[in-house]
Structure 1
Amino acid sequence: MEFSYDIDALNLFRNVFVFYGTMSFQGRVLSLEGKIFERTATEPQLLIGQKFSETVYWQSSADTAEKLEKAVHEAIQKGDTKASLDFRVNAAEKIFIELSLQVFADKQAGGERRIFFCAQEVTKRERQIKNYKSRARQLETAAAAGRIGLWFWEFDTDFFYATAKCKEVFNSAPEDALSFSRFLSIVHPEDRESLDAALCESQAEGKEFSIDCRVIYSDNSAHWLALQGKTNLDQSGKPQNMSGAVRRVTEKKSASEELARVYEREKKARDEAEEANRAKDFFLAVVSHELRSPLNTILGWTKILLGKEIKPEARQNALETIEKSARAQSKLIDDLIDSARVASGKMRLEMRPVNLFEVLKTVYNSQKPLTESKNVHLEFAADRENISVFGDPIRLQQVFTNLVSNALKFTSADGNIKISARNSDVEVRVTVKDDGQGISPELLPNVFQQFKQGDEKTSIDRSGLGLGLSIVKILSEKHNGRIRAESEGIGRGSTFTVILPLCDSEIGKQQNAPVSAAEQTDGKSNRAEGKALRAVKILIVEDDDDSREVLQLFLEQSGARVKSVGSAAAAMNSLLEAAASEDLPDVIVSDLAMPDEDGYSLIERIRSLPPEKGGAIPAIALSAFAAPADKVRAFEKGFQKYHTKPFEADGIIQDILQARKYK
């Protein structure tokens, strides 16, 4: 462009700009004047020919001259530019200027391209900006101290400013250029819709918003943020920008959630306590009813029998009714005693191989007359007549008698009850199925709880205490079995299935079929021989008489030579005697939780012995504790294997066979 001075322009420059002039592309002053030089100690005409950036005016800071040089080069390249610079007026005064530079063709110099420059003082503005920046830094520092990040979002330009703390909260590096869209991209998918709604409402109405949302960091960890902001409107009411704050609240959220969980646990415990009290009240009401009803019948007929005149038919009916009522009371008392034994852990089982078919047949024959008297059809079917299980025949009979009795209670006349038994390779499934009242989905999970009899509004009209199914479940588990209840709902009947492991001898019969080479070499196939532990010498250490007796009988059935003792002291004595007679056991199976001295202490004492006295005998920990820490402790103390109670037939045999390898 061409540039020339006129009087009006000069007057304008003198009033608006503190100085102005021209320079060559080499940055040397060609002309310079302005009102600022009235306050300087230098005549501007003396600077003609000097490099402008090297004059005294630009020496107020180390980089001011460098900034001027950069502005000159930029003007040459682009045609014009601006720069904010410090200008040293004199030793005591420094001002801030905004220097504008523009390339022009100087006609007086034959059209040579030169740079015109003019400076406007912006000291007041710069000081205000500096003051604002200082206050902003103070605010940012205070916010950062409170772990709060500040942000500002310009809608039209999408400019986004974030403090260092804000970038940290948004999982960005300090040098990263953060945008609001980038922040939105890390918001948890489940929280984006609610955050979008809050932002849109704020933008539409200029309202404040406050929302908690989750964000996903680059390491895939989730964090809770509390986000607050407000949309600022221009004079026409149009949304202009948004400013706000953000902070992490993960710990607060975790504390709140934990408090909620504590409350729920406390509420659950309180509800369970209230349910227990209600169940006790209901139990007392049922016991009162069940005891008084047969007693009333017995006393009534007894008074009639004591009378002088009674017909033979009435006498016979009276005796039969008294017998029936007495048996009902006997059953009631038996259930109460069994419940007490279970609660105290004193229920004793006489475990031995039992033909379950004969047990089920006995249950069928004993219950058949009772079902016929109520016009209910009872059926029994089994896929074989030799079903060998390891158990207590009396208690097994009690299990299935209780299940049939329970089915009969809730089956109307002309209904059907079916007992069926089906074998697999390792277990037998016995089902008792009826087409009676059925069980509602709400009550199905609680059928094995004590004192539960379906709908309590009507259960007072049913005989019994509601202990039968609870006892059935416990007895099934004591036989290393399990039980489940199924029903499609009210009026659709119910099915109870008891699953019991088969005895080794029975499994041996069922496994005579050809097997693959891999199966023949598998350790588990040893059970097919029926005597998997033949001649293995085992020392059992167990303080519970029932548990010790059951385990000993089972291991002896598997071919082992077993000696059992009830304490750690007795175990040490047994080892010393065995060492003296050179007949040490091959494996030790020891309980952990024993009085006086526990299994951990016992194995430490054993490991302190020399090998010839039993110090190297492999040992298996047998315990009801199933936590990983208990297992680790057992291994650290000197056990080679860990088996959780109740013992599982296959598992305990495999553990013993494997433990022998450590010897």
Structure 2
Amino acid sequence: MIASGLWLATGALNALGAHIAVLDKSGVIVFVNEAWSRFARDNGATTAATSFVGTNYFEVCRDAVRCGDATARLALSGLQEVLRGDRGEFSLDYPCSAPDAERWFRMSVTRFAAESEHYLVVAHDEITLQKKSERELHATERLLRSVLEALPIGVWIMDAEGRIVHGNPAGVAVWAGARYVGPQNFGEYKGWWVSTGERIAPQEWAAARAIRNGETSIDEEIEIECFDGAHKIILNSAVPLHGSDGRITGAIIVNQDITARKHAETERSAMLREHERLSVAAQEANRMKDYFIATLSHELRTPLNSVLGWTAILKRAFPDPPTFERATAAIERNARIQAQLLNEALD
């Protein structure tokens, strides 16, 4: 029965992909599985698989420490701590690169007792793909953070509880500062609805609604009081973030300062109103001018017509006397000259 149990345990260990060795309390290897032996052979070992048994693993680590290997120092310390019972387990990620490839492994150490003796189980798992994935993830995170920091609009990040955990430089500039608080302290941010002029209550902020209700708000126009006392008009947006299970895990808040644009719009509206006022005034002035000219023309032409008419009558009534003829001619000539001048001036 004991032999059967040993055979079963050995078979189970040999079936594992991890490189496993069992060490006694002195650090001597008393067993290695096939994955351990196979890895050694694939990486240049020329001895038989069983020759690893009897090697003092602690001494191997000490030799590496004497050569300045910092990873070996950490491994040896962890092994001894688990053996003494100072800790239940120990793990260490370390590089073990080949000439043509980068490789990473994780050493895990646990302790067990058998026949009143303590032994260590040392397992080495290759985690190269995991490390590459982590490195790529970190690179992506750095890229996204660089983009976030470079954005010209304010961006704030909230956690699942609604606490503001990060704001980019543009966001801090919009508010002239930052308060990394949760919804219960949103009152530290002062704002008013532009449409009504009413103060925004803490629970009414788009960020609070995103966390509480999963609500998306886009470009809400609000007036804010910055932390330096200045007032600005901003477009305020909030979008909730959801986990794979659908639960809200945080929110993104976006602030865009449109103060200059709003001032320009106000000035443009004022200019349009002034242009409209001047246009109406010009139309009224033209109407008054036309009325004045019509009136003046009537008032001036009427006596001239009378002068000319009576001159014609006098010429017919007294055609002979030379002096009278010259007088009436002069009257008529000058009246016609005045009529022509008026026609040219008024028409």
> Given the two structures, how large is their TM-score scaled by the length of structure 1?
0.31
Residue number among 37, 58, 62 corresponding to 1:50 in the alignment? 58
Q: Structure 1 95/221 Cα, relative in aligned 2: closer, same or farther at 3 Å?
A: farther
Could you tell me whether the CA contact under 8 Å between 1:233 and 1:239 is conserved in 2?
yes
Q: Output aligned runs, 1:306-321, within 5 Å.
A: none
Query: Whole-Å Cα distance in 1 between the matches of residues 219 and 237 of structure 2?
Result: 6
Displacement of 1:266 after TM fit? Answer: 0.5
Whether 1:249 aligns to 2:251 is no
Answer whether contact 1:211 1:228 (CA < 8 A) is retained.
Answer: no
Shift of 1:123: 2.0
Please tell me whether residue 132 in structure 1 is matched to residue 141 in structure 2.
no
- Given candidates 76, 89, 95, the residue that maps to 1:80 is 89
Structure 2 counterpart SS, 1:39 = helix
State the match for 1:464 in structure 2.
none
1:239 pairs with one of 240, 247, 251:
247
Residue pair 1:19, 1:32 contacting (<8 A) in 2 also: no
Q: Counterpart of 2:247 in structure 1: which amino acid?
A: P
**For the Cα contact (< 8 Å) 1:231–1:241, is it kept in 2?**
yes
Taking the aligned partners of 1:182 and 1:20, their CA distance within structure 2 comes to 53
1:181 Cα deviation (Å)?
5.6
Q: Deviations over 1:439-498 (max 9, x none)?
A: xxxxxxxxxxxxxxxxxxxxxxxxxxxxxxxxxxxxxxxxxxxxxxxxxxxxxxxxxxxx
* Aligned twin of 1:33: 32
Report the Cα offset of residue 21 of structure 1. 3.4
Q: Deviations over 1:541-561 (max 9, x none)?
A: xxxxxxxxxxxxxxxxxxxxx
**Residue aligned with 2:58, SS:** coil
Aligned equivalent of 1:229: 239
1:231–1:240 Cα contact (<8 Å) kept: yes
1:187 and 1:29 map into 2 onto residues whose CA distance is 65
Find the counterpart in structure 1 of residue 21 from structure 2.
21
Q: Secondary structure at the match of 1:102?
A: strand
The residue matched to 1:234 in structure 2 has which SS? coil
Contact 1:31/1:48 (<8 A) preserved: no
Aligned positions of 1:137-286 closer than 5 A: 137-147=142-152, 155=160, 166-169=167-170, 171=172, 187-190=189-192, 191=200, 192=202, 193-196=204-207, 198-199=209-210, 203=214, 224=234, 227=237, 229-232=239-242, 234=244, 238-242=246-250, 244=252, 246=254, 249-250=256-257, 253-274=258-279, 276-277=281-282
Aligned identity (percent) is 9
Partner amino acid, structure 2, of 1:125: Q
| Residue of structure 2 equivalent to 1:357 | none
How many angstroms apart in 2 are the aligned matches of 1:53 and 1:159? 47
Higher relative contact order, structure no. (Cα contacts within 8 Å, ≥ 6 residues apart): 2
Q: Is 1:20–1:33's contact at 8 Å kept on the other side of the alignment? A: yes
Gaps of 5+ in 2: 46-50, 193-199, 296-347
Equivalent residues of 1:17, 1:119 under 8 A apart: no
1:257 deviates by 1.4
Q: 1:287 to 1:211 in 2, by over 3 A?
A: same
| Deviation of the 1:229 alpha carbon | 3.3
Corresponding letter in the other structure for 1:199: A
Q: Shift in Å at residue 199 of structure 1?
A: 0.9
Work out whether residues 215 and 222 of structure 1, in 8 Å CA contact, stay in contact via their aligned partners in 2. Answer: yes
User: Structure 1 residues 144, 87: closer, same or farther in 2, change over 3 A?
Assistant: same
Deviation for aligned residue 1:140: 3.6
- The answer (yes or no) to whether the contact 1:97–1:121 under 8 Å persists in 2 is yes
Aligned partner letter, 1:18: A
Match of 1:95 in 2: 103
Q: Distance in 1 between matches of 2:62 and 2:262?
A: 67
Question: Cα gap change, 1:150/1:91 in structure 2, threshold over 3 Å: closer, same or farther?
Answer: farther
Shift of 1:18: 2.2
Number of aligned residue pairs: 266
What code does the residue aligned with 1:107 have? A
CA distance in 1, matches of 2:96, 2:61: 12
- Closer, same or farther in 2 for the Cα pair 1:281/1:117, shift >3 Å? same
Q: 1:266 to 1:170 in 2, by over 3 A?
A: closer
The amino acid that maps onto 2:108 is S
Q: Which amino acid aligns with 1:39?
A: F
Alpha-carbon distance between aligned partners in 2 of 1:197 and 1:68, rounded to the nearest angstrom: 48
Deviations 1:9-65 (A, max 9, x none): 444443334223356899x565563414423335644741425655669x9x97644
Q: String of CA shifts for 1:335-374, please: whole Å, max 9, x gaps.
A: xxxxxxxxxxxxxxxxxxxxxxxxxxxxxxxxxxxxxxxx
CA contact (8 A) 1:80 1:101 kept: yes
Other-structure match for 1:580: none
- 2:81 and 2:184 map into 1 onto residues whose CA distance is 33
RMSD of Structure 2 on Structure 1 (CA) = 5.3
The 5 A counterparts of 1:337-416 are: none
Which runs of structure 2 are paired with 1:508-657 in the superposition (5 Å)? Answer: none
User: Deviation of residue 256 (structure 1)?
Assistant: 1.0
1:137 Cα shift? 2.9
1:578-630 CA-partner distances (Å, limit 9, x unpaired): xxxxxxxxxxxxxxxxxxxxxxxxxxxxxxxxxxxxxxxxxxxxxxxxxxxxx
Change (3 A) 1:111 1:54: closer
Greater helix share, structure number: 2
Distance change (3 Å), C-alpha of 1:91 and 1:80: same
Which string of whole-angstrom CA distances, capped at 9 and with x for unpartnered residues, describes residues 192-225 of structure 1? Answer: 5141465158726xx6856566777765566757
- CA distance 1:218–1:260, change in 2 (3 Å): closer
Cα deviations by residue, 1:48-101 (Å, 9 ceiling, x for unpaired): 1425655669x9x97644654675588654423544x12426555553234333
Judged with a 3 Å threshold, the aligned counterparts in structure 2 of structure 1 residues 49 and 86 are, in CA distance, closer, same or farther, namely closer
Helix, strand or coil: the match of 1:117? strand
CA distance in 1, matches of 2:184, 2:62: 46
Report the alpha carbon displacement of residue 145 of structure 1 after superposing the two structures with TM: 4.0
Give yes or no for contact 1:102–1:116 (8 Å, CA) kept in 2: yes
Match of 1:299 in 2: none
Whether contact under 8 Å (1:29, 1:52) holds in the other structure is no
Matches of 1:186 and 1:53, distance apart in 2 = 58
Partners of 2:106 and 2:225 in 1: CA distance:
45
Change in 2 beyond 3 A, CA 1:25/1:256: farther
- Paired with 1:149 and 1:29, the residues of 2 have a C-alpha distance of 61
- Residue type matched to 1:99 in 2? M
